């Protein structure tokens, strides 16, 4: 492209020089005078003497002005001719930008000289198309989940109303039956709270708005507190949770945001692991990075699901019941929080062993 533009500019300069030289020779050797007199005779019917007198009085008398005007006209014509070739490139780029804005399905095509620009425009086009498709897919999932949650809200709400109505209308109900009804109503109320929280997550979900407030924390203590909070859920499913971590593991992080990540990972392990099986949490420091790994036993996860597991509004198993299924936001938010810390999160499935691994920069250790 540069060489061709340089060649065209060189040709334009040479052409201008040649035309000026021809113009000068024409005027110098009276060819220009003969040409003007001939035109006046042929086109305007003037006699030779009249045409010659007109030339001397109106053109030859203003020789310098006419010569400069001729040079200017030559330069203008040469510049106009070559500029059309230059502007053709800009017109091509403009048409390519129009195709980009109008989202035409076909690839953008430019001349060979603009091949690098063509590649960049097509790269931008494909990137924008992919982002548009991802946004549309996310909106479709979001709409489907809103409908799903709205439908599922009716079930626990109906149960709560039904059991509370029974308690109100049956004053002579036995204590045991009353306790049963209250227990069921409480369980359904908790599920109702989870669904409402899912609604809140969907309506306010915007990963770019998550900000961090970092401080030095003891990750081991954070994990011990997490296991303690989950003990009722673990006991209910006859699960055990073992922590393998050093007595103290300092980490510079946002404790609240990291708590949400760890909570989500352990909640998934409890919800989808095999009943009466162990859950292991490993944490250690390695080369300035803190590694956290959750391991549990459960149904094998297909590779396609693993690849999409951290997408927003993605629910890996549509067959799961409403009790365990969520809005598909937990892992997406967890991934974003981890990446904001400068870390990474991955999932793998080998047979019936499921592993979620988190890697975070440890930053500066605690000052003694």
- The CATH code of the domain that includes 228 is 3.30.565.10
174, 204, 234 — which closes off a domain? Answer: 204
For residues 219 and 343, state if they share a domain. Answer: yes
Q: Report pLDDT digits (tens) over 156-196.
A: 787 788 888 888 888 788 888 888 888 888 888 887 877 77
How far is Cα 57 from Cα 3, in angstroms, rounded to an integer? 49
What are 286's strand-pairing partners? 289
- Total number of domains constituting the chain: 3
Q: Indicate if 193 and 246 belong to the same structural domain.
A: no
Instruction: State pLDDT tens for residues 207-252.
Output: 445 677 889 999 999 999 999 988 888 988 899 999 999 999 999 9
Give yes or no: residues 330 and 233 share one domain.
yes
Task: Say how far apart CA 252 and CA 250 lie, in whole Å.
Answer: 7
Any idea which residue has 């510079």 for tokens? 252
Whether residue 144 is found in the same domain as residue 93: no
Closest residue by Cα to residue 147 from 195, 112, 194, 193:
195
Q: Which domain holds residue 192?
A: 140-204
- Are 218 and 355 in a shared domain? yes
Confidence of residue 312 (pLDDT cuts 50, 70, 90): low
Residue ending a domain, among 204, 231, 254, is 204
Q: Are strands 289-297 and 278-286 parallel, antiparallel or unpaired?
A: antiparallel
The mean pLDDT of 74-86, rounded to a whole number, is 70
Q: Residues 6, 66: one domain?
A: yes
Which pLDDT value is given to residue 8? Answer: 63
Compute, in degrees rounded to 10, the torsion defined by CA atoms 66, 69, 71, 76: -160
Give per-residue pLDDT as tens, 334-364.
Answer: 888 898 899 999 999 998 899 999 999 987 5
As a whole number, the mean pLDDT across the chain is: 79
295 and 338 share a domain? yes
The alpha-helical segments, DSSP class H, found in the chain are 2-28, 31-44, 48-54, 63-101, 115-169, 175-204, 219-229, 231-236, 255-272, 303-308, 330-340
* Residue 198 shares a structural domain with residue 75: no
């Amino acid at each position: 492209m540069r060489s061709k533009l340089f060649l065209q500019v060189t040709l334009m300069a040479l052409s201008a020089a040649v035309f000026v030289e021809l113009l000068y020779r024409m005027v110098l050797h009276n060819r220009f005078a003969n040409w003007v007199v001939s035109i006046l005779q042929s086109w305007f019917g003037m006699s030779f003497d009249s045409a010659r007198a007109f030339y001397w009085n109106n053109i030859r008398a203003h020789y310098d002005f006419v010569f400069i005007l001729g040079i200017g006209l030559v330069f203008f014509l040469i510049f106009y001719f070559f500029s059309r070739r230059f502007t053709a490139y800009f017109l091509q780029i403009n048409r390519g930008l129009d195709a980009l804005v109008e989202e035409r399905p076909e690839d953008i095509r430019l001349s060979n000289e603009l091949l690098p620009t063509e590649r960049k425009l097509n790269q931008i086009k494909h990137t924008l198309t992919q982002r548009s498709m991802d946004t549309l897919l996310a909106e479709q999932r979001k709409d489907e989940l809103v409908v799903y949650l709205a439908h599922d809200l009716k079930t626990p709400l109906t149960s709560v109303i039904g059991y509370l109505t029974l308690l109100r209308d049956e004053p002579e109900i036995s204590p045991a039956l009353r306790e049963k009804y209250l227990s069921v109503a409480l369980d359904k109320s908790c599920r109702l709270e989870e669904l409402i929280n899912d609604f809140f997550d969907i309506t306010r979900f915007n990963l770019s708005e998550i900000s961090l407030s970092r401080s030095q924390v003891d990750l081991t203590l954070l994990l011990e507190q997490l296991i303690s909070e989950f003990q009722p859920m673990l006991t209910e499913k006859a699960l055990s949770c073992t922590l393998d971590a050093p007595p103290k593991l300092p980490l510079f992080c946002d404790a609240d945001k990291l708590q949400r990540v760890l909570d989500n990972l352990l909640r998934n392990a409890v919800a989808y692991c095999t009943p009466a099986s162990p859950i292991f949490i490993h944490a250690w420091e390695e080369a300035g990075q803190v590694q956290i790994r959750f391991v549990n036993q459960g149904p094998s996860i297909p590779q396609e699901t693993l690849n999409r597991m951290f997408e927003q509004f993605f629910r890996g198993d549509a067959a799961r019941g409403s009790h365990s299924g969520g809005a598909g936001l937990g892992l997406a938010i967890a991934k974003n929080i981890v990446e904001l810390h400068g870390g990474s999160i991955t999932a793998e499935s080998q047979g019936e062993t499921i592993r979620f691994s988190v890697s975070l920069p440890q930053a500066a250790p605690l000052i003694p």
